[in-house]
Chains A and B, each alone.
Chain A
Amino acid sequence: MYKNDTIVALATPAGTGAIAVIRLSGPDAHVIAGAIFVPAFAKAEPTPSQETYNHLGANTVTLGHIYDENRVIDEVLLTKFVAPRSYTGEHVVEISCHGSIYIQQEVIAVCLKKGARMAQAGEFTLQAFLNAKMDLSQAEAVADLIASESETAHQIAIQQMRGGFSGELKDLRSQLLNFASLIELELDFSEEDVAFANRDDLRKLLSTSQQTLRKLIDSFALGNVLKTGIPVAIVGEPNVGKSTLLNALLNEDKAIVSDIAGTTRDAIEDEINIEGVRFRLIDTAGIRETTDAIEGMGIERSYAKAEQSKLVLYLLDATQLNTSPRIMHCLLRIQLMREKFPDKPLVVILNKLDQITGLEHAEITKQISTKSPDTILISLSAKSRTGVEELKTALVQSFNSGALSQDESIVSNARHYDALQQAYSSLIEVQEGIENDISSEFLAIDIRATAESLGIITGEITNDELLGNIFSQFCIGK
């Protein structure tokens, strides 16, 4: 928080909005912006150019695009502030991008890549205060803000430590502690009668730590999915009640519903938070054989959406299953969905429960469960909203059981991602040091840097802990 480097963070409230503002502040703000921004007037240029950027006037707004190397992330408005005339008193760049969480994360990620550091809670305001942009009477307010934001951030971090993430971090921490201990053992206890780790052992330990780190860093993409919501596709034949179910889950009339089959021509999305887990529900156009060109395109899109989702809800109309052949036909469709999306958990939903008798219901469930015993079947009425809670519970359960994540470890917090990246690059320097056979006290400098970066997530490794680890493993002392 007190390092004099360039920080980046979302300046508008977290979540989806019409637009989002991402703020960069610090000595390198303009260098970073210059490396990712191409003004619209300089369209001829294929990539960002620092020179072009430097020509932008102070305190001006420019239309243009944010690039990650050759890839365009978004069309944005960029405001350039030159120190000291800015909110924080340092060089500041504010990027107004489109409001989707995905775009926000991408823009922040490219800033991090170009050398910015993720801002701590309240850090912009703190900078503003330190640069005398605020008077002392505001101090307490700022302090409260930092305290409360870090409390929230802490809670988020705790929530994220579910399942594999905390385990991986624990491993990583102990690997690092062991590595550092072995290095310090050589330095502080070279006179002792203990076996020192040879360089090959150190290399091995280093490479496991790197792998663990890499895995966590790579899981950031998946973590983003978590943060932006787990995509859940609602598919089924026309008029089985997909949009009604979406509305029932959302408790509002988002999708247009009617009795006319094929009302939904495009996929409709919205987010729902169930017990702290965010799902992005995708209502799709009904799937059936059609000659209507527009409806056909909608069906294509439905399959594409289902392909992107992590979980598929396959909806059936109970009133249509009143004969054995019809049930057989429906079992075939379920089998087809399974084959089409072999990796995705499938939940079969029997809708319109309110329009059939108990006897009919019993018959349908019996047939499905005997012929296709693996099927997860939930019966409900979207219209009268009975059984919807059971569906919500099933969604959360499928998440908690780990069925939705291929990877155990999930990093979804950009600050953690930044810390892991920094730790990784320090570890690379340690590795280079070992290859060049430098004396271990110099390796220790980079190991310390690694531990400090990771300390943000795992808690700091103190000298006392290091020594404690050495004393517990080795017989030290004449």
Chain B
Amino acid sequence: MFDKEYDVIVVGAGHAGGEAAAVSANMGASTLLVTMNLETIGQMSCNPAMGGIAKGQIVREIDALGGLSGIVSDKSAIQFKMLNKSKGPAMWSPRTQNDRMRFSEEWRLQLEAIPLLDFYQEMVSGLIVENGKAVGVRTSLGIEIRSKSVVLTNGTFLNGLIHIGDKQFGGGRAGERASTGITGQLVELGFESGRMKTGTPPRVDGRSLDYSKMEPQPGDVDTSKFSYSNLTSSLKQQRDCHMTYTSPEVHNLLREGFDRSPMFNGRIQSLGPRYCPSIEDKIDRFADKDRHQLFVEPEGWNTCEVYVNGFSTSLPEDVQFKALRSVVGFEKVKFFRPGYAIEYDYFPPTQLKHTLETKLVDGLYFAGQINGTTGYEEAASQGLMAGINAVRKIREEEPFILKRDEAYIGVLVDDLITKGTEEPYRMFTSRAEYRTLLRQDNADLRLTPRAVDLGIITDEALKRVDRKATESEKMVQFLRDTSYDFKEMNNLLVAKGSKEVTQNDKLFKVFSRPQIDLEDIKTISQVKTYLEDNDLDNDILEQVEVHVKYAGYIAKEKDNADKLHRLENVKIPPNYDFKSIKSLSFEAREKLTKIQPVTVSQASRISGVSPSDISVLLVHMGR
């Protein structure tokens, strides 16, 4: 059935697998996507939403690099919100609510439109490894498919074990089989594996809810979107989410089930994410809080299925049901599916290189939850990076690695392989030292030229990015060079409660005041004329505003990032014998040997490596 050798085989068709397969095929590599179920491509296993704080920036980065998550999200969105709008531009974070079934369908359609991509449905039960190199996969039917590299994106399926109360059964998602075989083989090959845990709330029948008792949570009035391309458009119509609260009564009902909770009776040993606790965890750890928010999120345009965000639980289904029925608006609730917790295998990501290729097996790449991460966005970005690097390796091209000051994706990968993770890893803006540079508004300026070089996107996209860059610079220069008439300006300043000016001066100066925004400055005659002469898109005007208002902070952060680059340029040769450097502390020698950092900068981020160890390393690297 498979007589040809593929360039890349991607195992798993979730967010990571989808991106890996798409980019690989789009770069011209013959690619096979193998999944246990072709009906569940691009599933939203948890909440029906994409983006959010730090995650929205990642989606925009994926889009700027030619990935599909942004396009799929836009096309299936039912609500759009720009979070953190009251903060500075580095914090603005786009988020969509999505139609779960449309999202999945859109993924499949996008993938099917890629000529070099083949599909096959079966469980992969093992890898073919020859001479330390991954050269294909073996399926549960015993079929061998050969390839030059393999990308594993198994999600929660590896030995997945689902818990609901005191019941437990194997499965990768509710109603789906777990995948077995791969972990054992990898451990035999010398990989270290671990267990992680995550959970999901019940899905309920929207027709059984009383929305009049809840607060509506509408989307933005001015909607935007993820994709920089013109392949998608922003929403005209939206669906509301709703909010309600738990109560002490609900908490008491939940507590009644604690003795049957796998979280509390010790059946689940593995670590779950602290930022995504189950409802039982919340009332246990924050006992003084008498209510918790619940977000009631529609699962689509037309379906009546509803996701109860904030009620993730692995308590027995009868306890879930009883407790939820005492939540305001949920008095008559009917369940579609109960919430559950799931444990699965992962491989500590310190076993990977920056390309997401394993250090142990050549041509084998890991992406997504198999690396101990959580979140669709985190998974998708890893899939993209693994796919790009798998293809580049086959072609004997330089690895494609993003630095910490270039992209959230760079921070994500570097954190994973340098520090590893104890709990499911989620991105936060605070993980990025240079977040002022990593904004959702400039991901295309940062990354699209790179994607064009990689051959993922056409030159057309580059033209748009170039125009954005030159037009915004031009207008900033115009604001620097052009003076206002102080009488006209004072009318505006008085209206805005800003200090009046006494003489004509440059527009830039007034625009940089916090009280004056783009809409205000547009009313000044010179600006009005400039905008009439130059037809500028909103994203260009947004760039102008960011550059006028935050120039100082951006410069400061760039300066900090340049300091990082000095160490980033000091490379450490592969397989370097750290143990031979006696001047290094014992702990540093151990850690460095384990992680095998490729630059001194990376070495400096390993816990247990001190500044004096870094000096010693610098000396040995001969500057």
Chains A and B are bound partners: yes
Please state if B436 and A445 are interface contacts (CB–CB under 8 Å).
yes
Encode A128-168 as 1/0 by CB contact (under 8 A) with B: 01100000100110111011001000000000000000000
Please state if A477 and B277 are interface contacts (CB–CB under 8 Å).
yes
CB distance from B290 to the nearest CB of A (A): 12
Please provide the chain B residues from 68 to 89 with a CB less than 8 Å away from any CB of chain A in the complex: 83-84, 87-88
Please state if B619 and A184 are interface contacts (CB–CB under 8 Å).
no
Of the 9-residue stretches A95-103, A260-268, A356-364, A462-470, which lies at the interface with chain B? A462-470
Please provide the chain B residues from 418 to 459 with a CB less than 8 Å away from any CB of chain A in the complex: 419, 428-431, 433, 435-436
CB distance from A442 to the nearest CB of B (A): 5
The answer for the CA separation of A3 and B566 in the assembled complex, in Å, is: 9
Of the 9-residue stretches B252-260, B482-490, B608-616, which lies at the interface with chain A? B608-616
Contacts of B306 in A (CB 8 A): none
CB distance from B86 to the nearest CB of A (A): 8
Please state if B276 and A445 are interface contacts (CB–CB under 8 Å).
no
The answer for the CA separation of A369 and B25 in the assembled complex, in Å, is: 96
Residue of A nearest to B274 (CB): A471
A1 interfacial contact with B, CB 8 Å: yes
Contacts of A147 in B (CB 8 A): 583-585, 612, 616
Encode A103-130 as 1/0 by CB contact (under 8 A) with B: 0000000000000000011110010011
Contacts of B431 in A (CB 8 A): 463
A187-B607 in contact given A126-B615, A441-B435, A475-B282 (Cβ < 8 Å): no
The answer for the CA separation of A191 and B309 in the assembled complex, in Å, is: 13
Contacts of A189 in B (CB 8 A): 53
A143-B430 in contact given A187-B87, A445-B557 (Cβ < 8 Å): no
A136-B622 in contact given A187-B87, A437-B514 (Cβ < 8 Å): yes
The answer for the CA separation of A443 and B88 in the assembled complex, in Å, is: 11
A4 interfacial contact with B, CB 8 Å: yes
A478 interfacial contact with B, CB 8 Å: yes
A187-B91 in contact given A136-B622, A441-B436 (Cβ < 8 Å): yes
Please state if B295 and A478 are interface contacts (CB–CB under 8 Å).
yes
Encode B249-286 as 1/0 by CB contact (under 8 A) with A: 00000000000000000000000011111000010011
Contacts of B275 in A (CB 8 A): 467, 471, 476-477
Please state if B623 and A122 are interface contacts (CB–CB under 8 Å).
no
Please state if A126 and B430 are interface contacts (CB–CB under 8 Å).
no
A146-B84 in contact given A120-B612, A120-B615 (Cβ < 8 Å): no
Please state if A188 and B54 are interface contacts (CB–CB under 8 Å).
yes
CB distance from B236 to the nearest CB of A (A): 25
Encode A413-446 as 1/0 by CB contact (under 8 A) with B: 0000000000000000000000011111110110
Please state if A462 and B607 are interface contacts (CB–CB under 8 Å).
yes
Which of A4, A143, A445 contacts B583, CB < 8 Å? Answer: A143
The answer for the CA separation of A308 and B276 in the assembled complex, in Å, is: 62
Contacts of A143 in B (CB 8 A): 581, 583, 615-616, 619-620
Most buried by B among A146, A150, A477: A477
B110 interfacial contact with A, CB 8 Å: no
Please state if B276 and A184 are interface contacts (CB–CB under 8 Å).
no
Contacts of A186 in B (CB 8 A): 87
Residue of B nearest to A184 (CB): B430
Most buried by B among A140, A146, A448: A146
B52 interfacial contact with A, CB 8 Å: yes
Please state if B430 and A190 are interface contacts (CB–CB under 8 Å).
no
Please state if A188 and B429 are interface contacts (CB–CB under 8 Å).
yes
CB distance from B203 to the nearest CB of A (A): 15
Contacts of A439 in B (CB 8 A): 87-88, 91
The answer for the CA separation of A190 and B86 in the assembled complex, in Å, is: 10
Please state if B563 and A3 are interface contacts (CB–CB under 8 Å).
yes
A69 interfacial contact with B, CB 8 Å: no
Please state if A191 and B83 are interface contacts (CB–CB under 8 Å).
yes
A2 interfacial contact with B, CB 8 Å: yes
Which of B87, B293, B309, B560 contacts A441, CB < 8 Å? Answer: B87
The answer for the CA separation of A467 and B274 in the assembled complex, in Å, is: 10
Contacts of B553 in A (CB 8 A): 442, 445
The answer for the CA separation of A325 and B320 in the assembled complex, in Å, is: 94
Residue of B nearest to A442 (CB): B553
Most buried by B among A123, A130, A468: A130
Please state if B53 and A188 are interface contacts (CB–CB under 8 Å).
yes
Contacts of A478 in B (CB 8 A): 47, 276, 293, 295, 309-310, 312
CB distance from B513 to the nearest CB of A (A): 11
Contacts of A456 in B (CB 8 A): 611
Contacts of A471 in B (CB 8 A): 274-275
A190-B436 in contact given A130-B623, A140-B583, A445-B556 (Cβ < 8 Å): no
A2-B436 in contact given A143-B616, A471-B274, A475-B286 (Cβ < 8 Å): no
A121-B612 in contact given A147-B583, A475-B282, A478-B293 (Cβ < 8 Å): yes
A-B CB contacts (within 8 Å), total count: 139
* Interface size band for A: 35 or more
Tell me how many residues of B have a C-beta within 8 Å of chain A.
59
A193 interfacial contact with B, CB 8 Å: yes
Residue of A nearest to B52 (CB): A191
Please provide the chain A residues from 174 to 213 with a CB less than 8 Å away from any CB of chain B in the complex: 184, 186-191, 193
Please state if A146 and B615 are interface contacts (CB–CB under 8 Å).
yes
Please state if A150 and B612 are interface contacts (CB–CB under 8 Å).
yes
A477-B276 in contact given A126-B615, A439-B91, A445-B436 (Cβ < 8 Å): yes
Please state if A139 and B615 are interface contacts (CB–CB under 8 Å).
no
Contacts of A187 in B (CB 8 A): 53, 84, 87, 91, 429-430
Encode A451-468 as 1/0 by CB contact (under 8 A) with B: 000001000001110111
Contacts of A441 in B (CB 8 A): 87-88, 90-91, 429, 435-436
Please provide the chain B residues from 278 to 305 with a CB less than 8 Å away from any CB of chain A in the complex: 282, 285-286, 289, 292-293, 295
The answer for the CA separation of A150 and B292 in the assembled complex, in Å, is: 50
Contacts of A462 in B (CB 8 A): 607
Which of A142, A188, A436, A437 contacts B430, CB < 8 Å? Answer: A188
CB distance from B39 to the nearest CB of A (A): 28
Residue of A nearest to B282 (CB): A475
Residue of A nearest to B201 (CB): A478
Residue of A nearest to B552 (CB): A442
Please state if B430 and A466 are interface contacts (CB–CB under 8 Å).
yes
Please state if B611 and A120 are interface contacts (CB–CB under 8 Å).
yes
Contacts of B618 in A (CB 8 A): 1-2, 126, 130
The answer for the CA separation of A122 and B292 in the assembled complex, in Å, is: 55
Which of B286, B563, B623 contacts A129, CB < 8 Å? Answer: B623
B567 interfacial contact with A, CB 8 Å: yes
Please state if B428 and A146 are interface contacts (CB–CB under 8 Å).
no
Residue of A nearest to B411 (CB): A463
A188-B612 in contact given A146-B619, A475-B282, A475-B292 (Cβ < 8 Å): no
The answer for the CA separation of A123 and B611 in the assembled complex, in Å, is: 12
Most buried by A among B54, B309, B430, B514: B430
Please state if A146 and B567 are interface contacts (CB–CB under 8 Å).
no
Contacts of A466 in B (CB 8 A): 430
Please state if A139 and B622 are interface contacts (CB–CB under 8 Å).
yes
Please state if B428 and A126 are interface contacts (CB–CB under 8 Å).
no
Most buried by A among B275, B567, B607: B275
Please state if A477 and B282 are interface contacts (CB–CB under 8 Å).
yes
The answer for the CA separation of A464 and B420 in the assembled complex, in Å, is: 12
Please provide the chain B residues from 566 to 623 with a CB less than 8 Å away from any CB of chain A in the complex: 566-567, 581-585, 607, 610-612, 614-616, 618-620, 622-623
Contacts of B292 in A (CB 8 A): 193, 475
Using a CB–CB distance below 8 Å, which chain A residues touch chain B? Answer: 1-4, 120-123, 126, 129-130, 136, 139-140, 142-144, 146-147, 150, 184, 186-191, 193, 436-442, 444-445, 448, 456, 462-464, 466-468, 471, 475-478
The 10 A-B residue pairs whose C-beta atoms are closest, nearest first, are A439-B88, A150-B612, A147-B583, A143-B583, A471-B274, A475-B286, A478-B310, A193-B293, A188-B428, A477-B276
Offer 7 A-B interface pairs, CB within 8 angstroms, sorted by A: A139-B619, A139-B622, A187-B430, A438-B514, A445-B556, A456-B611, A478-B310
Known contacts A143-B619, A475-B292, A477-B274; 9 further A-B pairs (Cβ under 8 A) = A2-B566, A3-B563, A129-B619, A147-B616, A437-B514, A463-B431, A471-B274, A475-B286, A477-B275
